[in-house]
Amino acid sequence: MLKKIILSTTIASCLFAANIAFNEADSKVERIDANGQNSGVLSYHNAIKDVKKSVVNISTSRTVTRSNQLGIEDFFNDPYFKQFFGFNFPQPQNKPNKEVVNSLGSGVVISDNGYIITNNHVVENADVINVSLPDSDIEYKAKLIGTDPKTDLAVIKIEANNLSAVTFADSDELMEGDVVFALGNPFGVGSSVTSGIISALNKNNIGLNQYENFIQTDASINPGNSGGALVDSRGYLVGINSAILSRGGGNNGIGFAIPSNMAKDIAKKLIEKGKVERGILGVTIAALSKDSKKVYKNQEGALITSVEKGSSADIGGLKRGDLVLKVNEKTIKNPTDLKNYIGTLEPNKKLTVSYERDGNINTTSFVLKGDKDSSGIVKDVIQGLKLHELDANLRSRLKIPTNINGVVVVEVAQKSKAFELGFKAGDLIIAVEQTEIKNLKELEQALNKLAKNTPAKIWIYRDGYAQLLILK
């Protein structure tokens, strides 16, 4: 009986398998000799020999603050300090000590008169930027033209002419599987080239930049390659090498580059204006979930989850629950599309937005506001500072206790008066002399009362402690 059952099962399986039609390749395959008919060497040397002249080495130096031990006598016995925080307030045991740090990176020449694009993190906070051209012993001091931390791009310039400028390719035309080469200065060993393919396009949510639209490649991108060129098999620029995804710091075949079209747009703005001005829509957005797709006719778009009062979107009539489908001529498939597109637009740009609401497609037009209109940021109360009043969002992000108030430092310009005084982004200005500060107006009033040419005490809250800076 057991044998019959096994036999029947076997026959049934064979009959079932016989009904499957597999797609099979032609067994007659023509093989092409990789070395060519004349036993030559397969090489991309001619494709990349010119672009190698466009990739430069960048070395930087900057002064950083280290710590050495210190007693409390320098400022923690100040009567006002004790009055404001109490005698048992935690007291830091460190004081700053300066040290020079050097780092290496790469850059790409984009004009024959010395403009070079690189990563922002290569030149960020650098006091000195030096550039070495390929096959040259001459080292140039570079001037910082502008930076855009939100895309991790920067432009520098050297005083040189007749340089070999890179040729830009249209990164929108890239396809997965395209052969690419990464050029740069890995580990400071000098110019080198690695090869690979484009593994993926339009990668976002990596957590590296605010505006992400990365090219993913398995061409080796190692420390020092940052800011170098990613080129196609013609030797044309398709991206700026930016980062690798690695747990141990080694290359695991997952590298990211900023698309050439984005790099070209940012470089142009930095050269023309020294900065990138972006419009602010004033919304919080999310992707459609599996459940939320059931209540929308369109299955792609950017879902608005909140609208800031008085923002561009609010004035344009957009509301929570609207599904943005199109902005001007740009189709919006997901939140990243909307964020990146708005990020390319300057303030005062007119927008036409198509969106779904209650099953209907609506259209609205309005003018895009800029950072100054909606950010609440005030500049240069102290030269070089950007300040913001402490709201619930910043208090949460900076982990500031509810019993401490003040004004938040959101940015400090390099080599400015504020930078020299020791201010850092994230500091909370809590007092001027013995005047407590709760908002920007109180800060301005307290500073205006100070005697001219007389040092003054500025109290800040940093890393869980009150610290003292002297305004000179």
In the annotated binding site, the residues are 121, 152, 224-226
Burial grade of 171 (CB within 10 A; 0-12, 13-18, 19 or more): buried
Cα(64)–Cα(100) distance, rounded to whole angstroms? 6
What are the residue ranges of helices labelled H in 247-294?
260-273
- For residue 118, what is the enclosing H or E element? strand 115-119
Q: Has 103 been annotated as catalytic?
A: no
Burial grade of 461 (CB within 10 A; 0-12, 13-18, 19 or more): buried
Cα separation values, 251 from 105, 108, 125, 233, 341, Å: 16, 22, 26, 22, 31
Name 147's Cβ contacts closer than 8 Å, sequence gap at least 6. 120, 123, 124, 153, 154, 155, 270
Q: Has 45 been annotated as catalytic?
A: no
Residue ranges with strand state E in 294-359: 302-307, 323-327, 330-331, 350-357
Cα(326)–Cα(471) distance, rounded to whole angstroms? 50
Name 397's Cβ contacts closer than 8 Å, sequence gap at least 6. none
Which one from 121, 220, 232, 337 is the annotated catalytic residue?
121
Q: Has 127 been annotated as catalytic?
A: no
- Known binding residues for substrate are 121, 152, 224-226
Cα(318)–Cα(309) distance, rounded to whole angstroms? 11
Which one from 106, 220, 226, 260 is the annotated catalytic residue?
226
Which one from 54, 59, 152, 242 is the annotated catalytic residue?
152
- Per the listing, tokens 């030096």 go with 130
- Residue positions annotated with a catalytic role: 121, 152, 226
